[in-house]
Amino acid sequence: MSVTAIATATSAAIGSFRTRRSTNGVSRFKMSIRSSFVSMAAAPMLTKLQQDCATPLPVLRNVASSMSDDIRAGLAVDGGSDLKMILSYVDSLPTGDEKGLFYALDLGGTNFRVLRVELGGKDKRVIAIESDQVSIPQELMSATSEELFDFIASALANFANKGGNFPGKKGEIGFTFSFPVKQTSIDSGILIKWTKGFAVSGTAGKDVVACLNEAMDRKGIDMRVSALVNDTVATLAGARYWDDDVMVAVILGTGTNACYVERMDCIPKLQGEFSPSGRTIVNLEWGAFSKGLPLTVFDRDMDAASINPGEQIFEKTISGMYLGEIARRALLHMAEEGSLFGKSVPEKLSMPFVLGTPDLSTMQQDGTEDLHTVGSVLYNVAGVESDLSSRKIVLEVCDTIVKRAARLAGAGIVGILQKIEEDTEDAIFGKRTVVAMDGGLYERYPQYRRYLKEAVAELLGPETSQNIVIEHSKDGSGIGAALLAATNSKYGRNL
């Protein structure tokens, strides 16, 4: 809804208020005046936000082109661009022949999962999956390395004790570790830095597999990590297990990242170290991308107040951890400078991250005439009293932030596809190509999904976009990690 439409709706509401009287006979005229003042004062602020967040086609094309350029620069030499372009050491993907019982540990954000997957080969594929999800206590996100990994190992031990015997051999784990790692082999990698709000001490510069193995030894767990993978790499492997056309995987959840299948002869920094397949999965760590992004004062203020100012700008613009906070900052500004919610500003609205991205999604699904759900969320989460006029503006703020995020994510996807297409003509755009998507933001936010797909279609055009399938790969990263553990099993695939 446009600002003009909101003002019109408010005027109509004012007219109706003037004909009514309260039960005690006091005119509602004052209420109508306040609604009018709120709308008039906040309207230019909303317009400014919409202008600053605008993502017309030229902006999207520039982002896609810049993403392609950064991919090439990062493949040429380490440190060549904002994108790390980390080699995954996954040179062969699951074939369907894998058999046996394998575990996966998926550490990707504020929650982690442990999974047990039974594989039955080509005929039976995935026979059974069991899983548990564990929330990481807030204090452990800034604790020591030993404290965090001991907590993870304990949860893994509790889960493993429920079943799954490994007579004469160690249990094998695919470890999905969704933070920037300098991979040194399929089963080792050095942590570059924590992201997604983690600030664990004593891990940066260390092998995260060794950290987990040592914690498992301390807890008496007879298991080993046979594959260390990023969540996007695991998602790609899990999706490719079922569909050979999968070339790209993207995670859009608490944080965000992307990876894709690359020809080894297109990676200059490899210096001729090719595997028999001639292809490998490359992890972009695209959250660090920063070129051509339309940013607001609220983005810059949030970044300045973060634990990693100046870093992970793409992630802070498009991922689930941050969208609610950007909206909160915009609403707080409107409340303070435009009296959006009346003369007083609720104290809770001043609390960083009090408004979450799931709250934005809940409000945007409100189909009631009086936007009752929007009012309930504002009151319950931020202590805000609101009328219909202010609720409509809140929805416009939510939509503006989410639309920008999703369209920029779509432009990033097109940037990856364009890079692959430039090196292998018609390998992408001339046939069916699948982009596997996972993450709670993509899965649970309908408007985000729609805006992302619309941006991809706009950039590629109607004919080419028909060949690009954007497909949800639910729980792909967990299953994919177990599959890569099987592919790289030291006991062979047939257990």
CATH code for the domain of 217: 3.30.420.40
Which DSSP string do the residues of 77-131 spell out, in sequence order? STTSSSS--EE----S---S--EEEEEEEEE-SSEEEEEEEEEEHHHH-EEEEEE
pLDDT of the residue at 40: 75
pLDDT of the residue at 163: 63
pLDDT of the residue at 492: 52
The whole-angstrom separation of Cα 224 and Cα 208 is 13
| HSE-CB of 199 using CA atoms within 13 angstroms | 7
Range with lowest mean pLDDT among 346-355, 433-442, 481-490: 481-490
pLDDT digits (tens, 9 = 90+) for 165-175: 544 457 899 99
> Which whole number is the average pLDDT over 69-86?
96
Q: Do 60 and 166 reside in the same domain of the chain?
A: no
Q: How confident is the model at residue 36 (pLDDT cuts 50, 70, 90)?
A: very low
Q: Do 324 and 456 reside in the same domain of the chain?
A: yes
pLDDT of the residue at 447: 98
Q: Which of 50, 47, 74, 98 is nearest to 492 (CA)?
A: 98
Query: For residue 141, is it within any domain?
Result: yes
Query: For residue 339, is it within any domain?
Result: yes
Q: Do 98 and 150 reside in the same domain of the chain?
A: yes
Domain span at residue 392 reads 40-86+241-474
CATH code at position 352: 3.40.367.20
Range with lowest mean pLDDT among 6-10, 109-113, 227-231, 336-340: 6-10
Does residue 266 surpass a pLDDT of 90? yes
Query: For residue 479, is it within any domain?
Result: no
pLDDT digits (tens, 9 = 90+) for 85-133: 998 889 888 888 888 889 999 887 788 889 999 888 877 888 888 989 9
Tokens 């416009």 belong to 396
How, if at all, do strands 279-283 and 256-263 pair?
Answer: antiparallel
Q: Do 429 and 322 reside in the same domain of the chain?
A: yes
Q: How confident is the model at residue 33 (pLDDT cuts 50, 70, 90)?
A: very low
pLDDT digits (tens, 9 = 90+) for 345-356: 999 999 999 999
pLDDT of the residue at 461: 96
Domain count, the chain: 2
The whole-angstrom separation of Cα 486 and Cα 494 is 9
> Which whole number is the average pLDDT over 22-31?
36
Q: What CA–CA distances, in Å, run from 305 to 122, 308, 311, 323? A: 51, 8, 12, 15
Q: How confident is the model at residue 180 (pLDDT cuts 50, 70, 90)?
A: confident
Q: Do 218 and 247 reside in the same domain of the chain?
A: no
Q: Do 68 and 92 reside in the same domain of the chain?
A: no
Q: Do 399 and 434 reside in the same domain of the chain?
A: yes
Strand, coil or helix: 274:
coil
The whole-angstrom separation of Cα 74 and Cα 457 is 27
The two three-digit tokens of residue 255, written as one number: 């944080």
Q: Do 168 and 272 reside in the same domain of the chain?
A: no
Query: For residue 18, is it within any domain?
Result: no
Cβ within 8 Å of residue 161, ≥6 positions away? none
Check 231, 299, 303, 438 and give the catalytic one.
231
Query: For residue 8, is it within any domain?
Result: no
Q: Which of 189, 186, 190 is nearest to 227 (CA)?
A: 186
Query: For residue 81, is it within any domain?
Result: yes
**Cβ atoms < 10 Å from Cβ of 410:** 27
Check 99, 196, 316, 419 and give the catalytic one.
196
Residue 252 or 14, more confident? 252
> Which whole number is the average pLDDT over 449-460?
98
Which DSSP string do the residues of 220-239 spell out, in sequence order? T--EEEEEEE-HHHHHHHHH
The whole-angstrom separation of Cα 433 and Cα 240 is 11
Q: Do 208 and 324 reside in the same domain of the chain?
A: no
Last residue of a domain, one of 182, 205, 228: 228
Q: Do 185 and 319 reside in the same domain of the chain?
A: no
Largest CA distance in the chain: 86
The whole-angstrom separation of Cα 296 and Cα 404 is 11
pLDDT of the residue at 1: 56
Q: Which helix (H) or strand (E) holds 174?
A: strand 171-177
Does residue 79 surpass a pLDDT of 50? yes
Last residue of a domain, one of 190, 205, 228: 228
Query: For residue 4, is it within any domain?
Result: no
Tokens 């210096």 belong to 271
Strand, coil or helix: 214:
helix
Q: Do 449 and 316 reside in the same domain of the chain?
A: yes
The whole-angstrom separation of Cα 245 and Cα 240 is 7
Q: Average pLDDT of the chain?
A: 87
Let me know if 196 is a catalytic residue: yes
> Which whole number is the average pLDDT over 407-434?
92
The whole-angstrom separation of Cα 365 and Cα 360 is 9
Query: For residue 211, is it within any domain?
Result: yes
Q: Do 340 and 268 reside in the same domain of the chain?
A: yes
Let me know if 231 is a catalytic residue: yes
Q: Is the pTM of this model over 0.75?
A: yes
